[in-house]
Structure 1
Amino acid sequence: MADDTSIEPAEGDAIVVTTAKRRITRKTAIIGAAAAVLLLGGGGGAYMMFAGDAPAEAEAPAGAHGGGGEAEAEGGHEGGHEPFDVPPIMVNLRSVDGAAHFLKVHVMLVPGPKATEESLKARLPLVLDAYQPFLRELRPEDLAGSAAVFRIKEELLLRAREALGEGQVDGVLVQDLIQQ
């Protein structure tokens, strides 16, 4: 006797094969959408981080930065001007425990294309006045870690540009940063 569960088609019958349809549930759709957003956001963030300002610098002609290698060899940077020395600044740091903490900062300003040494000397009190409140508000915890110097440099550059105007300062070089 033949197995009752097997069905054999007769000679003129057509065989129809159907597959089970997969339904996309709401949970699967949400997970897929979140993954797509993360991939697009991560890709865009990586592009912005690695691209940054590099294309503008790469497209500049070879002699666009004040003579190329000659200015860098003579002046130490692209602008051709010597960095301007700012006198050391010593401030008290804010502390929660009431103990005395001091910070001594010695920086140099890299002049911009519109700056002259005389104009920087004449407006130096404005720069020092802009630096004092920022430095006094720092806490000892703000100076911990490898990124602290970078954050301080960026803030000092921002304040120097606000005090002197655009095109006057291209950078801030930290000579000493001593916490006691």
Structure 2
Amino acid sequence: MASEASGGAPGGADAKRSKKKRLILLAVPLVLGGAGAGLWFGGILPALLGMQPPPAVQAEVQSAPRQPVFVTIPDITANLNAPGRRSFIRLKSQMEVSAAPDAAALQASMPRLVDLFTTYLREMRPEELRGSAGTHRLREELIARANIVVAPARVTDVLFTEILVQ
């Protein structure tokens, strides 16, 4: 019996050591990963690796925040694709661009843009425009179409002033 008691103690010590070793093997990579992530997102690691732009470029970007430019789109009234009934949409909106040259390009291509929007709206069904999800899909589609028309300029957003579906 004495040999069993003495034999059981060293086995328990080995189990404790293996648990500590396992804990250390798990904790060290987590601590190192956390420290690395902190250095990366803090901007220290990219600066050490030379991945940040030169200070002159960085200062220019920070010192000159651009104000968006809003361009009013003419009111659009179109009949919707609703078989067996008459359904219309009236849309008042504004386009947001990041700079004045983009606004000039948008203004210059306004007839083509209104035609493209009207054609797209005529293919929509009233059910597709219901709720915030419908409005969001409409916004995304209009942005995509506007960016095709005004390329290389870029439309950043469409702001709806009024959407009326009858």
Confirm or deny a common fold (TM above 0.5): yes
Could you tell me which of 49, 64, 67 is aligned with 2:64?
Answer: 67
Answer yes or no: is 1:87 the counterpart of 2:84: no
Aligned to 1:133: 119
**Structure with the largest fraction of helix:** 2
1:169, distance to aligned residue in structure 2 (A)? 1.4
TM-score (norm 1): 0.54
Seq. identity, %: 28
Structure of higher CA gyration radius? 1
The amino acid that maps onto 2:91 is V
RMSD: 2.6
**Alpha carbons of structure 1 residues 94 and 120: separation in structure 2 relative to 1, 3 Å:** same
**Alpha carbons of structure 1 residues 145 and 65: separation in structure 2 relative to 1, 3 Å:** farther
1:115, distance to aligned residue in structure 2 (A)? 2.9
Contact 1:113-1:168 at 8 Å conserved across structures: no
Q: Deviations over 1:79-122 (max 9, x none)?
A: 424300001100001113x2111100111011134734433222
What aligned pairs does 1:11-160 form with structure 2 within 5 A after superposition? 64=61, 67-68=64-65, 79-96=66-83, 98-113=84-99, 115-160=101-146
Contact 1:93-1:139 at 8 Å conserved across structures: yes
Secondary structure of 1:115's aligned partner: helix
**Alpha carbons of structure 1 residues 171 and 115: separation in structure 2 relative to 1, 3 Å:** farther
Unaligned runs of 5+ in 1: 1-54, 69-78
1:146, distance to aligned residue in structure 2 (A)? 2.2
1:65, distance to aligned residue in structure 2 (A)? 6.5
Q: Deviations over 1:60-88 (max 9, x none)?
A: 968736734xxxxxxxxxx4243000011
The amino acid that maps onto 1:169 is V
Aligned to 1:170: 156
**Alpha carbons of structure 1 residues 81 and 136: separation in structure 2 relative to 1, 3 Å:** same
**Structure with the largest fraction of strand:** 2
- Greater relative CO, 1 or 2 (CA 8 Å, sep 6+): 2
TM-score (norm 2): 0.58
Aligned to 2:15: none
The amino acid that maps onto 1:106 is K
1 CA distance for matches of 2:136 and 2:82?
22
1:135, distance to aligned residue in structure 2 (A)? 0.4
Q: How many residues align?
A: 112
Secondary structure of 1:110's aligned partner: strand
Unaligned runs of 5+ in 2: 1-40, 42-51
1 CA distance for matches of 2:135 and 2:119?
17
